[in-house]
Each structure stands twice: as structure tokens, then as C-alpha cells.
Amino acid sequence: MDLFTPVVPEGELHPNFRALIGNFSPGERAVLAEWADGFVDRDGKFVTEFQTTFNSGFWELYMFACCKELQFHVNFDFVSPDFVIDNFHNEFCIEAVIASNARGDQPEWKRDVKRRPKQPDLEAVLRTATIRLSNAIHSKRKKYLESYAALAHVTGRPFVLAVAPFEQPNFWAHNDHAIRQVLYEYDRVGADGEHVFRSSVEKAPGVAIELGLFAGTKMPEVSAIVYSNTATMSKLHALSREPDEMMFFASLHFNAKGSEPILWKSTKANYRESLLDGLYVFHNPYATYPLPFRYFNHNDITQATLLPGQRVPRYKCRHGHLIQRSSFRVRPRP
């Protein structure tokens, strides 16, 4: 499958795709080609959609690469859902979806990189992310109920949504905060050390979105959410084998030995990151068909759930887990 030869007029190419096929990105294209190795374009539309809409196809290829890394066997005999995993005693399905910007809002790729970046309004970023992630999850749950649930290879088995945030330019800044609210109602630790919960978020005056989809029996059809806010173009930069003295990284990592995350700043030569770094699996304790923890039991993957009688989610997370990462390349003037 040739991802990089344009099949549509230049004006229809997505900005992220145009950046990917530029002169500075041979290493990134090589990584993406590895992700796509073995991927089957079942409807013949993937390359066109990848070049014109980009993010959904990028996320799907990343999830396929994760399946290969975890030695899941993807059965492409089925048109849908996206990934039918059939090498377990109890096979399961993964459907990929992204949270995109609302109509009229600024898309994630439209950011002013020429000006000195300002600190984003984190509360505004969090609110937007919570709304858009909830919308994406509900849309796929509706799809499951209307079509997937009746399929013989889906019914009676765990159904997993793989969700990625691409809903705004600063989507990287909310980490797992927004998805944690959407699924478990858990907001943060307050100023006095108390746990703060949020049961809803206001989408518009008089219109509230209910949170806590996994905090009760609101969505038993979805067994788990696989999530990452670090599966971005910077993931390609990190995994590229091309030496680049002008590529720099800044990353936040979980600190099991203290209350503040670990901040790393590094050049490309000294930066290390795996394919699975930054990946989360959020389990639904009320799922009709629970997803076994062992399926995603990997040192680089963080898993979370609610224990019986508790409202604060419990995380299984290694010291140094990737929370947030950004990269930038200094380019010479023409």
C-alpha cells in the first residue's frame, strides 16, 4: 500500500500529510510504512482518506502497529469493526475513533508556529476535550448498537473503543484528564487534598453532557477504552531512525517517587521512546463482557479501572510512564 504518492490534487491534501511528504521527513515516512506493513485496505478508500483527512487514518495505523507489537492477530476477513482479534480464547474487537474539532472551531493542525507560543487556557482546553471525547464515544456506541452488535464475530465478546484526541490545537495538554472525567467522573485532587468529581459538563446554556460512562451501568456495551494523546506526528519523530541534530523533545513522565511529574528535555540523539509509550487502557467494571487485563499487560501501557465501592480510579502504571510530549525541529532558512 503506497501511502505517500498523492492520489488527489495538491489543494485537497491535508496539512499534516503535506508536512509528512516534505524533504525533512524521510525517517517519519519509514516509521509509518512499518506501521502500515500488513494492513489491509478493505474498501479501497484508505489511502485517499489518509491523504485528505489524515488523523483518523493515522490513528488507525498506529493502533494496527500496537496490535502487531502486542502480537494480536488481526483478522481482516471482516469488513467491520476495524480490528477483529482472534488469537485469544475469547476474541475481541477494536473500533478506532478520533475526537475532532466541532464545526467552526479551530482544527488541531491550525496553529501559529511563527509566533512565540502562549500558555494555553488549560481549563478551556479540558472542557472542549471532555465534550468532544464524549461525543466521539457516544457516536461509536450508537454504531455498535445499530449494526455491530448483531454481527456473529462481535456478539458475546468484549468490544473495545480506541479513542484519540485531535479536537483542538492544544489537545496534547489535557493528557488523560478529560478522558478520566468522561469515563469515571474523576476530576482532580483539590486544594485541600480532597478528591473532586464532576458528573456533567455544560456543552451550551441549558445543555449538559453526563459524565462517568464507566462509573455505573450507563454504557455496558463498551468493555474498555484504549487511549493516547501522544500518538501524534511527534511519535514519528521519536521513533525515526534518522539522525537529526536539530530535533528537540520535551516530555512529562509519571513519578512514582514523588507528587510532581518528571520533566525531560532532550535532543533527538539522547531521546528514547517506544511505540507503546503513552498508551492507556481504561476498563469498564460494569461491562457486560469485560476485557481481561492480561491482554494489554505490557510495561509501557498504563491500565486503569474502578475497584468495587471506590470512586477514584486505580492505575497500574510504571515509573517513567509517558504523560505528555512535544517536539520541534529547527530548520534553516531557504
Amino acid at 146: E
Residue 253 lies in a domain: no
Give, in order, the Cα–Cα distances in Å from 146 to each of 8, 141, 151, 225, 326.
33, 9, 11, 19, 39
The count of structural domains within the chain is 1
List, in sequence order, every residue forming a beta bridge with 250; answer none if it has no partner.
265, 326
Residue 15 lies in a domain: yes
Q: Is the bond into 81 cis (omega within 30 degrees of 0)?
A: yes
Which positions ≥6 away from 192 have C-beta within 8 Å?
Answer: none
Residue 95 structural domain? 10-240+284-315
Residue 222 lies in a domain: yes
Residue 183 burial class via C-beta count within 10 angstroms: exposed 0-12, middle 13-18, buried 19 and up = buried
Q: Which pLDDT score is estimated for 333?
A: 66
Q: Is residue 195 classed as helix, strand or coil in its secondary structure?
A: strand
Amino acid at 308: P
Q: Which pLDDT score is estimated for 22?
A: 85
Residue 220 lies in a domain: yes
Residue 303 lies in a domain: yes
Q: How far apart are CA 43 and CA 122, in angstroms?
A: 40
Q: Which pLDDT score is estimated for 84?
A: 96
Are the C-beta atoms of residues 27 and 53 closer than 8 Å to each other? Answer: no
Q: Within 10 Å of residue 191's Cβ, how many Cβ atoms? A: 7
Q: What cell does 71 get?
A: 502480537
Q: Within 10 Å of residue 52's Cβ, how many Cβ atoms? A: 15
Q: How far apart are CA 254 and CA 322, in angstroms?
A: 7
Which positions ≥6 away from 282 have C-beta within 8 Å?
Answer: 179, 180, 183, 184, 214, 224, 225, 227, 303, 304, 305, 313
Are the C-beta atoms of residues 275 and 69 closer than 8 Å to each other? Answer: yes
Q: Which pLDDT score is estimated for 90?
A: 66
Residue 279 lies in a domain: no
Are the C-beta atoms of residues 21 and 29 closer than 8 Å to each other? Answer: yes
Task: Note the pTM of the prediction, 2 decimals.
Answer: 0.95
Per residue of the chain (334 residues), give pLDDT as tens: 899 999 999 999 999 999 999 877 899 999 999 999 999 999 999 999 999 999 999 999 999 999 999 999 999 999 999 999 998 766 999 999 999 999 989 999 886 555 555 677 899 999 999 999 999 999 999 999 999 999 999 999 999 999 999 999 989 889 999 999 999 999 999 989 999 999 999 998 899 999 999 999 999 999 999 999 999 999 999 999 988 778 999 999 999 999 899 999 999 999 999 999 999 999 999 999 999 999 999 999 999 999 999 999 999 999 999 999 999 888 766 6
Rounded to 10°, the helix 26-36/55-69 angle is: 60
Q: Which pLDDT score is estimated for 114?
A: 53
Q: Which pLDDT score is estimated for 89?
A: 66
Q: Is residue 23 classed as helix, strand or coil in its secondary structure?
A: coil
Q: Which pLDDT score is estimated for 87?
A: 86
Residue 64 burial class via C-beta count within 10 angstroms: exposed 0-12, middle 13-18, buried 19 and up = buried
Pairing of strands 186-189, 195-197: antiparallel
Residue 106 lies in a domain: yes
Q: Within 10 Å of residue 86's Cβ, how many Cβ atoms? A: 16
Report the run of H or E that residue 161 belongs to, with start and end.
strand 159-166
Residue 101 lies in a domain: yes
Are the C-beta atoms of residues 267 and 248 closer than 8 Å to each other? Answer: yes
Q: Within 10 Å of residue 79's Cβ, how many Cβ atoms? A: 10
Q: Which pLDDT score is estimated for 243?
A: 85
CA atoms within 13 A on the CB side of 219: 26
